[in-house]
Amino acid sequence: MTEERFRNLFRPTALRRGHKVALLSAALVTAAMAATAGALGHEPTAPGAAAASGSLLTADVAPATATAAPDPDTATAQPAAPAAPSEKILDTSFEYQINFYYCGPAAVHNALTARGIDVSQEKLASGLGTTVHGTDSAFDTTRMLNGAIGADVYQTKEITGQEATPAQMDQLQADVVHAISNGHAVVANIIGGATDASGVRHDFSGGHYVTLVGYSDDGRAVKVADASGMYGSNTYWMNTINMANWIATRGYSA
């Protein structure tokens, strides 16, 4: 056997052995990688860690936590207005009406003095359109009151029926408390008769205007300033229910 044949005899075997070694090495690397991947995929982890790993592996980004928008009502809420007192009487500069048909101008004059405004009855009569037949309605007194004050403070409320309804009685009570507690006297256009808290009857068959300058018992009673000079005292108290019925078919400025 020559030397060349001797070398050729062993060359294929050596190559096959080298190939097997290479295959074995590759298999070992593959197995190691699979084991590592298995460990990553199946090894128990803390919830936080698992969430982090998942995010990193999938390149997902956790959604940002939503922040609640501020409640506009809460953000802009203002302190509640103080409750109205259970009773209040305004300071006024009282005048009797200067003639028999100036009850409207006199009532408006007395109401305005609660605001420190002094306008003559003659001037008010001109603005109200007052004649010997009197002043037309509460719409006129509302207009003059707002004009003298320079702001739309007053509104006209009507009680159109022959008697006031319970809702209208409650509304008058609420309006009196709101107006007077804010320093505004109420002017009422009344007709017919009504009895005051002292049992005195007041009758004005052709109609009349009075000024409400105070209230008590949370508005269940009102203090009336009457410029007519009739029926005794120029001021008296009256139940608000009686006052509402006295205003019936007419209205008031509050």
Angle at 247 between CA 241 and CA 249, to 5 degrees: 125
Query: CA-CA distance, 80 to 24, in Å (whole number)?
Result: 86
Would 74 be classed as within a structural domain? no
Same domain, residue pair 125 and 167: yes
| Confidence band for 7, pLDDT divided at 50, 70 and 90 | very low
Q: Half-sphere exposure of residue 231, counting CA atoms within 13 Å on the CB side?
A: 19
- Dump pLDDT digits (tens) for 240-253: 999 999 999 999 99
Would 135 be classed as within a structural domain? yes
Other C-beta atoms lying within 10 Å of the C-beta of residue 249: 16
Which ranges of the chain would DSSP assign to H, the alpha helix?
A: 3-42, 47-58, 72-75, 103-112, 121-128, 138-149, 166-181, 240-247
User: What are the structure tokens assigned to 197, written together?
Assistant: 């808290």
Same domain, residue pair 109 and 198: yes
Would 77 be classed as within a structural domain? no
- Tally of domains within the chain: 2
Query: CA-CA distance, 118 to 224, in Å (whole number)?
Result: 19
Would 75 be classed as within a structural domain? no
Same domain, residue pair 150 and 214: yes
| Minimum mean pLDDT range among 29-33, 160-164, 218-222, 250-254 | 29-33
Same domain, residue pair 50 and 92: no
pTM: 0.70
Pick left, alpha or beta for residue 219 (phi over 0 → left; psi -120 to 50 → alpha; otherwise beta).
left
- Dump pLDDT digits (tens) for 108-161: 999 999 999 999 999 999 999 999 999 999 999 999 999 999 999 999 999 999
Query: CA-CA distance, 191 to 170, in Å (whole number)?
Result: 20
The CA–CA distances, whole Å, from 167 to 85, 104, 114 equal 22, 26, 28
Angle at 240 between CA 237 and CA 245, to 5 degrees: 115
Would 219 be classed as within a structural domain? yes
* Structural domain ending residue among the three candidates 41, 58, 75: 58
Residues whose CB is less than 8 angstroms from the CB of residue 48 and which lie 6 or more positions away in sequence, other chains included:
none
Structural domain for 165, as ranges: 88-253
